[in-house]
Amino acid sequence: MRILHHPRFRLVSCLIWCLSWPAVAALLLTPLPFGFIARSDLLGHVLLFAVMSVAVVTFARSRTQIITLAVLSIAYGVALEFGQAYVPGRTFDVADAIANAVGGVAGCLTALVLLERLVATTTSGRNRT
């Protein structure tokens, strides 16, 4: 558990998280493959944005940081949906934007719980020594 507090681990985690966003953009802004079934990707949207939002717990250390980054993730997800209107074969879909937001909120809540457990574990570990 000590590795989560190491400054280098936090920096690398933050860099990986930031570099993951262009991959998310590429995924959401490329034309769909032929024969792709609409609506089958809603769960994918929820999971993608949940993972991106919960991943901030590897480098964020306050509720404010986690909530701020989750809000930015949600805003980015909605912006990417609007961007799909300009990609051939893609369209803006309110359901996808909502799925992005639901995933972002779920990830944020999970990250907050994990942060509380991390703080509790760290605090109890300090009290034992």
Of 65 and 89, more confident: 65
Which pLDDT does position 64 carry in this prediction?
Answer: 93
> In the chain, which ranges are continuous DSSP H helix?
7-29, 42-54, 63-83, 94-128
Q: How far apart are the first and last CA of the chain?
A: 16
Q: How far apart are CA 26 and CA 124, in angstroms?
A: 43
Could you tell me if 118 and 1 are in contact, meaning their C-beta atoms sit under 8 angstroms apart? yes
Q: What letter represents residue 79's amino acid?
A: A
**pLDDT tens string 18-37:** 999 999 999 888 876 665 55
**pLDDT tens string 67-110:** 999 999 999 999 999 999 898 888 888 999 999 999 999 999 99
60 pLDDT above the threshold of 70 = yes
pLDDT band of 126, cuts 50, 70, 90? low
